[in-house]
Amino acid sequence: MINIFKKQPCKKNQELLSAYIDNQLTGTEKPALEQHLKTCGVCNNELTSLQTTKRMLKQLPVALPRRSFTVTASRPVASTSIFGIFRLATLATAVILLLINAGDFFGVYPSTVPSAPPQISVPEVVETPALVPTRGSGQGRPDISMPLPIGGSTVDVGAVVTPAPENLPQSAQQSAPGVGGAAGEPGGQYLWPVRQVEIGLIFMVVILFILTLVARKKVYVKVKR
Amino acid sequence: MVTQIEENDLIKRCQQGEINCFNRLVENYQVPVFNLALRMMGDVHSAEDAAQETFISAWKGIESFQLVNFKSWLMRICANTCRDYLRSSKRSPKVSLEDNFAALSEAVTPSHDNPEVLAERKMVEEEIQKGLNTLHPDQKLAVVLCDLQEMNYDEIAGIMGTSIGTVRSRISRGRQHLRDYLLKQGELFGNQIRLIE
């Protein structure tokens, strides 16, 4: 086969030739290119080859689809309502979780008797002949120490009222601070397991969110094949 | 065939949720959409899927459609769908070329020419499609929209979301590549090469 395109056409005219075939040149481009084509054989050959390529492309027949592409908008009611329910449930659970967390943070929940701080043992406090008045000596306890006129000495009120571990109920002795709920009132325990509830709610929010996404995907336009 | 006034009316009713009106538009445009998908994908099965997805996407988005040019809008959805399909099919090609061309010859309009002419034409069509498949997707889209869908550069620029200058460049390069590919198949295209000479 003879390669008639060995010589490159003028580079600046290559794009113009294609647009010229499509009659898409501007008013000034067209006469300039036509003038150039009168003298340049290489560009003339390029033009002819591109025209032939276009003609060959146009030979491709129009294909008829073997089936119709009509659509039906069947939005299943069940899926829609499930989606709505899941979405609402996710939102509600997230709000409850947020409220519980906020309550935990600000320590608004009722708690049991505060457990004794581990650093202070009762015998040491009792045996102290004269305690220097302290402020906020208990770790995490409210600052309630004040001097009391008992036997001419001051006593740490917080330490005195703290029952000895053996006098505490069994459950209070066994549970460590923080277990069963962060102490809203420091040193104490909630009457209900706040932390476990929070963790449970986090899981619920995640699961409900996933279910919402799954339900949402099912609400789409069904294809009529 | 639906007139422009009818089409605008159908679109407005589609936007109010009338699926039957939308299906009238589907019937009106399914041939050009399918042909664009077919030439872009080079595979009948993928083209059918792409065309179907185009109409589903169009139905979903009909509410946001502004009355400009419904066909261009459909073509843009189809082009984007095909681009996504091509990206995913690059990772996992499914249909063999032989199977594809068998399905393709079923899809094209039947002709009453003699078997020899038909066989030759079929071979040429297959080679042109193979040549199209070698083009960069953007060049292929520009060439198909221009030469097969007979759209002007302005419309093509709107569909491709680019400037007229870029369209001009893509069509030019696409045609050159296709021309080079077809020249390499010189034995098949004796008649056309003679035309060039």
How does pLDDT run across B9-23, given as a tens digit for each residue?
888 888 888 888 999
Cα separation, A172 vs A112, in Å, equals 9
Domain extent at residue B189:
111-197
Considering the domain boundaries, does residue A202 fall inside one? yes
How high is the pLDDT of residue A86?
Answer: 85
Q: Is residue A106 part of a domain?
A: yes
What is the rounded distance in angstroms from the CA atom of residue B147 to the CA atom of residue B126? 17
Q: Is the pLDDT of residue B32 over 70?
A: yes
Indicate if B95 and B2 belong to the same structural domain: yes
- Whether residues A182 and A106 share a domain: the answer is yes
Pair B63, B38: CB distance under 8 Å: no
Chain B residues 64-83 within an 8 A CB cutoff of chain A = none
The yes-or-no verdict on residue B40 having pLDDT over 90 is yes
* B114 vs A: CB within 8 A: no
| B66 and B3 fall within a common domain | yes
Q: Is B175 on the interface with A (CB under 8 A)?
A: yes
Residues A197 and A186 in one domain: yes
In a domain, A3, yes or no: no
Question: Inter-chain contact A52–B192, Cβ cutoff 8 Å?
Answer: yes
For residues B72 and B159, state if they share a domain.
no
* Cα angle B25, A64, A51; round to 5: 105
CATH number at residue B2: 1.10.1740.10
| Cβ contacts of B34 on chain A, cutoff 8 Å | 63-65, 69
Q: Number of folded domains in chain B?
A: 2
What is the secondary structure of A138-192 as a DSSP string?
STTS-S------BTTB---HHHHHSPPGGGS-HHHHHSPTTTTS--SSTT--BSS
Range of the domain at A214: 65-114+178-225
Q: Tens of pLDDT along B45-59?
A: 999 999 999 999 999
Same domain, A184 and A211: yes
| A3-17, A27-41, A110-124, A171-185 — most confident range | A27-41
Of B149, A29, A14, the closest CA to residue B160 belongs to B149
Residue that is written with structure tokens 């198949």 in the block: B185
Q: Does B119 touch chain A if contact means CB atoms closer than 8 Å?
A: no
Do B64 and B116 lie in a common domain?
no
**A24 contacts B152? CB cut-off 8 A:** yes
Q: Domain boundary residue among B44, B79, B100?
A: B100
Q: What does the pLDDT read at residue A158?
A: 43
The residue type found at A13 is N
Please check whether residue B100 is in contact with residue B43, taking contact to mean a CB–CB distance below 8 angstroms: yes
Residues A96 and A202 both lie in one domain: yes
Say yes or no: B149 and B91 in one domain.
no
Residue A157 sits in the same domain as residue A182: no
Q: Residues B117, B171: one domain? A: yes
- Measured at the CA of B8, the angle between CA B2 and CA B10, to 5 degrees, comes to 70
Residues B2, B85, single domain; the answer is yes
Question: pLDDT at position A195, please?
Answer: 83
Query: What distance lies between CA B115 and its chain's CA centroid?
Result: 27
Lowest mean pLDDT among A3-7, A25-29, B41-45: A3-7
Q: What tens digit of pLDDT does each residue of A152-174 get? A: 444 444 444 444 444 544 444 44
